[in-house]
Amino acid sequence: MKKFTNESMYEIIHYFETSLKKYEIISIEVLNPDLGIDNYAGYTIDLDESYIYRSYKSWTDLAELMFCKMLTPIVLSENTICLKFRKLDLSSSFHNDLNDEENEKYGIKSDFSKINKNEEPAFVFPYTKALIHTKVYEKKQILNLGVNKADEFEIIKNIVYSEVFEKINFVGIDYSKSAINQAKQKFPNKNFEFYSHDINKLDDLNLKKSDLIISIGTLQSSSINFKLVFMSLIQDYLEDGGSIILGFPNCRWVEADMIYGAKNPTYTYSEQSLLYKDVYFCKKYLQQKKFKVTLTGKNYLFLTATCIKKKQK
């Protein structure tokens, strides 16, 4: 076990990068973060030795950047604790799963189906704020593209009163037949419609216009003509005065952990230029259409657009 006292974070990162090439688990002894809880990172604390203070947040951030899972800390002495870091298996991810006639990458038997975003604060907190910002409790028709098991509808159910929820018409569309069947079982109510359908061919469904359109991590799929489908949603499927929430994943899943940062195959670390290119295109287009646009979130970026009402003369 390596002990760190007054070494810099640069030195610690170098140690991690070197050690994780050899070992699956590494252990370090560091100052107990509870001893300097009111200090900034880098503050020197003199005890039995001279220590540089770092919070638990600093160590969990480091774990994520190094693609590790930080295990439960162990108290070693009056001043120090042991932190263990287990290296994640980068090949263990639903992103690597096949998606063909025999394999539903996003079906109920897939690794993706095991993910419950509604239990991830980095998702549910900004998504809830985005829904409230659109005044979801006033909506009459809500369309969700890439609805999968309808997890996003569950959050809406938590936000609005039950009598309001029962009067909203919900429409969910996803290419995965098994996921849509599960969504139907979850919401068998008459005010819900679910379709297993290609989002590129929405015209086939003869959908009514909606006053709220939601799409989380779907429009950027390689099988979808992103710009064409997005512009069609605004022009053909959104009611005048309606709102839209787009969720752009700025994360990836490794084993069962949500790791911050969009992945580009060219880089070993997060590279987000393509993500922000798509975000900027949507933001600019919506502003030209007289929408007020906000961008919130971290692991998921939520672009929320609400119509700017014209002042009555």
Give per-residue pLDDT as tens, 176-203: 999 999 999 999 999 999 999 999 999 9
- Give the pLDDT band (50/70/90) at residue 111: confident
Which residues fall within 8 angstroms of residue 265, CB to CB, at 6 or more apart?
A: none
What is the residue type of 104?
Answer: E
**How, if at all, do strands 210-216 and 291-297 pair?**
unpaired
Higher local confidence (pLDDT), 309 or 227: 227
The span from the CA of 291 to the CA of 143, in Å, is 18
Residue 267: pLDDT band (50, 70, 90) is confident
Average pLDDT score over residue span 99-111:
76
Which of 21-30, 85-94, 105-114 shows the highest mean pLDDT?
Answer: 21-30
Q: Is pLDDT of 312 > 90?
A: no
- Please compute the mean of the pLDDT values over residues 296-310 and round it to a whole number: 91
Cβ burial, residue 304 (10 Å; 0-12/13-18/19+): buried
Other beta carbons less than 10 A from residue 70's beta carbon:
17
Is the overall model pTM greater than 0.75, yes or no? Answer: yes
CA distance 218 to 104: 15
CA–CA dist 295, 284 (Å, integer) = 12
